[in-house]
Amino acid sequence: MSWTDERVEKLKKMWGEGLSASQIAKELGGVTRNAVIGKVHRLGLSNRSGSGSKPAREAKEKTPRAAAASAPPPEPAAEASAQPEPRPAAPSRKQIIPAGQPLPPQPSANEISPEALASVREVEKKAKKLSLMELTERTCKWPIGDPATEEFWFCGLAVQPGKPYCEAHVGVAFQPMSSRRDRRR
């Protein structure tokens, strides 16, 4: 099916009358609802003025939802103007986070001690300051500095066996299993 000028004009007319995309697709034949929606969007017709045709408006007015939505809000009672009652505090319990959702920030169970931080700074003074192209499987790949600046480099010291970092950076990067397990609880 191709969109001929005749079919496009018919689409515009039916859309202007307030017909749904499904109704238009049935009437035109050979197109899906999604094809109609796409064409309406490409033609720039997607924003209806909200009035629609008289039959479409009457059909809308007959639905209970539309009637409830258009009904004026009930008058507030004299008691409603008073301050709302405070809600009781929710009971303290573990927060359940659905799968796929990021965890909220949590305090680290294994904060880096000032001594460890000082030893890392000492190691970084002795670092080889390698560029990305100079790294090998035997050099520490700990990044130092801002990658957007010329002052960015990698540690480059000898790595611990089976790890990508030197001894000082392994101490910062890897946490003992028990503290990770504690944080999940």
CA distance 132 to 136: 9
CA distance 114 to 136: 30
Residues in contact with 172: Cβ distance below 8 Å, sequence separation at least 6, in sequence order: 112, 116, 120
pLDDT tens readout for residues 23-52: 999 999 999 999 999 999 888 886 765 554
CA distance 108 to 119: 20
Indicate the helix (H) or strand (E) that contains 145: none
Q: Evaluate if residue 57 carries a pLDDT over 50.
A: no
* Assessment of whether the complete model's pTM goes beyond 0.75: no
Taking the CA of residue 111 as centre, how many other CA atoms within 13 Å lie in the half-sphere pointing to its CB? 5
pLDDT tens readout for residues 126-167: 888 899 999 999 999 999 888 888 889 999 999 999 999 998
Q: What is the DSSP letter of 81?
A: G
Q: Where are the domains of the chain?
A: 5-68, 114-184
